Structures are given as structure tokens and as C-alpha cells.
Structure 1
Amino acid sequence: MASQMPPKIDVHSHYLPPFYRTACQENGHANPDGMPNVPDWSSEAHLALMDNLHISKSILSISSPGTHLVAGNDALAAKLARQCNAFAADLKKQFPQRFGYFASLPIPDVATCLDEIATSVAEGCDGFVFLTNGHGRYLGDPLFDPIFTELNNRHATIFIHPTTPHCPCSPQAAAEGAQPTQATPLAGQYPNPMLEFFFDTARVVTNLFMSGTMKRCPHIKIILPHLGGAFPPLLARWTGFSTLVPGPWEAMPESEVREVFQRQVWFDLAGFPFPGQVRGLMEGVGVGSGRLLYGSDFPFTKAEGVEMLLGQMDEGVKGLFSEEEVEGIYHRNAEKLFNT
């Protein structure tokens, strides 16, 4: 039973206040990323799940589609991000031992992101959440350099959550009112979280390194969800390519990328990590148990699904790790990361 295992700190769980659900439904995201609906959520239901599954603390975040819901509508994004971050700050004040939160940064609106960094730090956030792309502008884009410089100066922790892939408009097309294009050829068959989220995570890992962002920001700590998505088997491909073929990118030997993973990057276990995916990350990339964190993905994964997946995880970690390593994965690694 889950209750016989160590207590857990959940770094990948979400909150959806009523005003956020309404904003999604009214602005084109009633079926976010091809999912059936915007899930119900309440702090009471979240605490009940935590009590049932021996989760001592949850670090909450807004999931995809984030708080920048409509391309070009920075005013709506600023209002919604402020509402969400203030809500989470208040929830943390009410339940300081049970809830932390990552403040939402509504890319691509750089000015609002910088404002929210300062305000949310003052309100007591535990870090910040980005989507992998903001209407087609991907993390690692030079547009976001001021944000990453500020976060690096603050030695911030960031959680990167995947979203639907987008191709940005050309400047001319954007000036004429065109909208970013979804890059999802299988969207009519499968919800984007099934496949596209993993590919978008791989894009961001590649772009953060090859753009030079990681080298410029040695003090940022990053949590990658779902064990880093689809990037592990591609690591040798893009690092090798970057060193052999000249181009407008940062040459990144694989050895240097692996070293950065050991210093700056953690990976959560939300989703279906056992039996195969966790081995691909650990054996293929050299990531050890000290970089792994528990994640539930509640409520996008419903309570019964969280319980089922945790049962699989409990059995999986027993077969791969020592009792001390399991303690690390379930809570001690997060305690060190967040200095709690």
C-alpha cells in the first residue's frame, strides 16, 4: 500500500481556481490540448488525495494552457497570471505545511513576467513555472533572455511544463493579425499530452542548451516533468550534431550537458515512468536517483489514476533502488532542492 511507503513531496501537481477554469472555457480552451475538459479542482479534494496517498506537501502550478490564453492579448495574460499567483500565495499562507507553489510566468509577455517575478518572490513563491512555448516562442529564444537573467540572478527554481507545440507567425503575418499555428499532425487522433507534450519537452531541452541559455545561467535550477519527455535517446544526436556541423548554435559536447544535469536539473516521475522510461533516463543519460522527484499530475490525472500510478511506482522503485534512495526520490531530494 502507498501508506507503507515513505511520505512524498509532490512537485508536479496543479491547481485550477474557479476563475481560471472560467477563463479557459471562455477563451478557446474548454478542451485544453485536446483533453475532454478542464478538470474540476478544489483545495479540499487535493488535501483529501494527499492524506489518502501519504503526500505530505504539494508544490502547485498552473498547467497547460497556462495563463497567456490568447495570442497577442497581454492584458488578459497579466490579469490572469496575477489572479492565479495571488490565489496560490493565499493558499500557501492558509496551509504552509501542505502547499507550496510555482508562480506562473505568462510567456511571451516579457514585461509581465518580470513584474510577476518580483511580486511573487515578495509573496513567498517557491519558484516559477514556464510552459515550453508561449504561442510558438520557445524557451531559449533570445526574447526571453531578460527573464532568464533575472531568474539566474535570483538563483531561482523553475518548473517547465509542456504544452501544445506551435509554430510562430512571421513578423509580417503577425502584423496582419495571423495566429500561431499548432504543430500537431496527429491532434485529431490523440490528445496532445499523449505524444506532443513529450516532443515539446525535448525541443526545449535542446534549445535551452544550444541557444547558450544554460551556459549563461549557471544558477538556475530546473525541474523537467515526465522524466524529461522524449529527450534522453536524442541527447547524443543533437550534442554530436552541434559539434560537427557549423551553425548559429552553441556547440555542446555531450559530456558538458551531462555535467549540467548533475548540477542544475531534476526530473519528476509524473506519468508512466516504470518499467522502461526511468531506465532510459538513468542508463542513457547517466541521471542518478538523487535527481528524481515524485509527481502526481493531479487533477489532470484523476485521483484513481494517481493512486494506480503510485502503486506501480512503489513497486518500481523497490526493484531499482535502495530504501535510502527511495526516501530521496519520495521526499529528501525535494527537501534539499527547496531547502526545507
Structure 2
Amino acid sequence: MERIDVHTHCVPRSYREYCLQSDFAGRGHPDGMPAIPQWSAEAHIKLMNQLKIKKSVLSMSSPATHLTPGNDEEGRSVTRHANIDMSKTCADHPAHFLFFASLPLPDVEGSLAEIDYALDHLGAVGFQILTNSHGIYPGDQRFSRVFDKLSERKTIVFFHPTTCLIRHDDSLEKVTPLPGVAAPIMEFMFDSTRALMSLLTSGTVDRCPGITFVVGHCGATFPPIMERIAEFSSMVPGAGDGISGEKIKQLLQTRFYFDLAGVPFPDQIHGLLRLVDSSRLLYGSDFPYTPARLAESLAKRVDDGLQGLFGSETTQRILLDNAQDLLGEARA
């Protein structure tokens, strides 16, 4: 079946060079992974043809574009170059690609400027934000102006997981509970859950009605502990009287989409479907950080799983129509 891929990445050459030079980006081993994957538009289009992907929405993966803590000048430069590179790829291959622009968070002023530039000059269809930006989570009041601006511009915000970071005064500590285990294997799921909790308990989602949120990897580990988060939300700093489970479900069903990148079948999908219905599901390959051969086998697993749960008509809506609703028919 035809599909639109909302969770897929590119690796521009200039960005690769920055990562290879950056200690914080792991010098070519981001988030503990073996290497930064090779990428080209041609290889990407080849996979798209194999999987009947009608359109791919490119974005940067972790560690995104603010690579060195405290170096906002570098962050702005890397971000602008990456966004220009993605825009050029889309212009060169308009039938295949759209893109979510990056922001140089935690640099607020740089991010406010980049929002307007990416929308007004580069043709971005939304923005990718990490689940934490050098240890600051999206609901933090320090980011209020950024999310207010994103709401004002009525944008899509795609949250991508990254390594958990803890701030100690002027330093940052990367959290590696299991030494030698790369963060994407398990820790990415937990950081996605932290970001969702931060957004919902801070009131950011309610305060910013112009944003449509996209969460990766089938909601990560949030669904099974949603009621626990709601029950104790009044104890979260900045959450006021807290938020109810019913209110969270209402926001998830109306303001959020969830992509199916990763391994949502056979088990993970069922927890998410207790919170939202099939109209909030999207396809995602996570290519090239998920290699082509694995992306192909996972796509088949998603197709078979959706067919078994919903049948052909709803499967087609999940793979294609929901993304067209999100992005707009003209751009999808």
C-alpha cells in the first residue's frame, strides 16, 4: 500500500562533519551508536520506491543541531546549514521530500529567529525538537516563548528522542544506566515519556492551541503509565492542581499524532490504542538510522499488524490518509 513517512531522516555532509568533530555529539558515535549512517537522496528514494512511500518528511535525528552546550553561535550555524540542506533536497526532489526544520534549542532567541526563517524562506512544514535540549524538557518555562511562537505560526512539532541529560550547574551529564547499551535501544523510550509528561503537566499543550504534536515510536512508554502520571501530576513542579487522565486522553486524541517507527507490533500498539484511535496513527520508517533491510521487514510487520487489527480500509487511512490530513493534501 502507498504510504507517507513522517519519521525519517537525512544526514547532510556538513552535519556529518560537525558531528565527527564534536565531543558532545560522540565524534561519529551519537547516543552510543556504532556510527552515523550513510545517507543520500538517491538511496532514500530507492527505499521509498521499494516500500511505496509517496512522500518522506525529512528531519535531523539525535543529537540534532545544537551540538556543543553553551555554544549558541555554533548551534545557530549548524542549524541554519542543516535546514538549508534539507530545503535544497526538497527543492531538488519535490515529488519525494518535505522537511521538518531543526531549531537550535536551548538557544531561545536563535530558535525564535529560525522559526520565521524556516517557514518564510525555506518551506518547512513543521519543526523537529528533541525530547530534551541539553537537559531542558519542552514544558520548561524557559521555552515558553518558543512554543508560543510555534502556536502563533500554527505549526507541526515532531518530537524526536535523544539521550537523557542531567544539568549540574554549568555542566551536563549523559545518563547511561547500562554502560555499553546505546541509548536508542531503550533509553530513548523513557526520554520520550519524560517529554510527554513535561508537555502535558506544564500546561504547554493547552496554552498553545496552534501546535499539532507528533510523538515518535508509538508513544514510547507513556501509555501504560499515563494514569500514574495523571494521579501524581499535582506533585510535578509547575503543574498547579495537576491534570486528569481524561483530560490527557482528550488532548492526545485531538492535538497529537503518533508514528509507528520502531517495533510497535505485536505488543506495543495495544497500549496506545487504549488512549487514542486509529485516526491518530502515522507511518514512520526511521531510515537511515534504521537500515534499509530492517526498514523493509519492519514495514511488513506494521502492514500485517494493521491489517490484522483494522482491515484494509483503515490500514490505508493510517499509512496514507492520516498524514495527508496532518500535512494538508497539497503538500502530501
Q: TM-score interval w.r.t. the shorter chain?
A: over 0.9
User: Is the 1:107–1:113 Cα contact (8 Å) retained in structure 2?
Assistant: yes
Moved over 3 A (4+): 245-248
User: Is the 1:262–1:291 Cα contact (8 Å) retained in structure 2?
Assistant: yes
Q: Deviations over 1:204-256 (max 9, x none)?
A: 1001111111111122100000011111111000101125x586414101111
Q: How does 1:252-331 map to 2 (within 5 A)?
A: 252-283=243-274, 285=275, 287-331=276-320
1:226 matched to 2:227? The reply is no
Equivalent position of 1:8 in the other structure: 3
Q: How does 1:226-245 map to 2 (within 5 A)?
A: 226-243=217-234
User: Is the 1:219–1:264 Cα contact (8 Å) retained in structure 2?
Assistant: no
Shift of 1:53: 1.2
1:206 partner amino acid: M
Q: Secondary structure at the match of 1:9?
A: strand
Distance 2:34 2:118 in 1: 32
Equivalent position of 1:3 in the other structure: none
1:192 matched to 2:190? The reply is no
Distance 1:97 1:169 in 2: 46
1:180 matched to 2:163? The reply is no
> What runs of 5+ residues in structure 2 fail to find an aligned partner?
none
User: Is the 2:32–2:180 Cα contact (8 Å) retained in structure 1?
Assistant: no
Distance 1:151 1:324 in 2: 34
Distance 1:320 1:136 in 2: 38
1:249 matched to 2:239? The reply is yes
Shift of 1:169: 2.4
Distance 1:51 1:265 in 2: 28
2:239 partner amino acid: W
Shift of 1:64: 0.1
1:19 partner amino acid: S
Q: Deviations over 1:8-56 (max 9, x none)?
A: 1000000001111111010022100010001100001001110111111
Equivalent position of 1:119 in the other structure: 117
Distance 1:91 1:246 in 2: 42
Task: Report % sequence identity.
Answer: 41
User: Is the 2:58–2:99 Cα contact (8 Å) retained in structure 1?
Assistant: yes
Distance 1:221 1:198 in 2: 21
Q: Secondary structure at the match of 1:60?
A: strand
Equivalent position of 2:132 in the other structure: 133
Distance 1:84 1:58 in 2: 17
Shift of 1:322: 2.4
TM-score (norm 1): 0.93
Aligned-pair Cα RMSD in Å: 1.1
User: Is the 2:303–2:315 Cα contact (8 Å) retained in structure 1?
Assistant: no
Size of the alignment, in residue pairs? Answer: 324
Distance 1:215 1:184 in 2: 33
User: Which of 93, 96, 101 is the equivalent residue of 2:94?
Assistant: 96
Equivalent position of 1:163 in the other structure: 162
Q: Deviations over 1:309-333 (max 9, x none)?
A: 1111121111001222111111100
Equivalent position of 1:23 in the other structure: 18
Q: Deviations over 1:49-106 (max 9, x none)?
A: 1011111110000000000111111111100100010111111112222100000012
> What runs of 5+ residues in structure 1 fail to find an aligned partner?
1-5
Q: How does 1:12-91 map to 2 (within 5 A)?
A: 12-28=7-23, 29=26, 30-91=28-89
Shift of 1:160: 0.3
Distance 1:209 1:168 in 2: 22
